[in-house]
Structure 1
């Protein structure tokens, strides 16, 4: 585990911690299998990763890691440092949208002449 979080991780953690985002309880630097993820929530099963510049050269490792996490039941969302630093509201709205329960479509009403009375 790292003892010093990056600036983007710290900023995102301030928005996620203590159930501040949609009452979801996130944990920071959670161990899942042999991996340590930036942030994770058990309900919903969600992992959030904040990727710096080094992730561009680790695409294969990240893909294997994501595959393992998904097989463990987690959904994985990745955001770049730049996203977090310049568009925090967009990042948070994306997370909220991903955690919102799917809503059923509204029922289709029958045409006026076919309604039962």
Structure 2
């Protein structure tokens, strides 16, 4: 199946967690921000993306536990300038407010008008890793 057709099929068959998160992200509902769902980027299809903030959000089920494919994919996305946030489906379903708060915090880092901008790389931040993993250990 061609990538765009596959993305379209994924949009029609979203998981419960993806559907819940999409209800909060769609139509500029979260902080008036624009997200897309099941979006092709390179060879991959990401669950949600905010192109302006270069932010990818993934809703993960058990099949993603310690996935080498996810690590490779996240590294490729980082090399393209994206930050990747991963949330377990159970966290989305049971703690949606915390998930949304984490997304808003990440968006604030990329907003130059944010009241508390994060330091630029090399200016004492000490953290140049752009993947944030919210999975529990």
Equivalence for 1:41 = 50
- TM-score, normalising length from structure 2? 0.72
2:23 to 14, 39, 56: 14
Q: Is the Cα–Cα contact under 8 Å of residues 24 and 43 in structure 1 kept in the other structure?
A: no
Query: What is the CA–CA distance in structure 1 between the aligned matches of 2:93 and 2:85, rounded to whole Å?
Result: 16
Number of residue pairs matched by the alignment: 104
Write the deviation string for residues 17-42 of structure 1: whole angstroms up to 9, x where unpaired: 01111111000000000000000011
List runs of 5+ in structure 1 lacking aligned partners.
106-117
**Bigger-Rg structure (1/2):** 1
2:104 to 90, 96, 99: 96
Query: What is the CA–CA distance in structure 2 between the aligned matches of 1:26 and 1:81, rounded to whole Å?
Result: 19
2:87 to 79, 83, 86: 79
Large movers: runs of 4+ above 4 Å: none
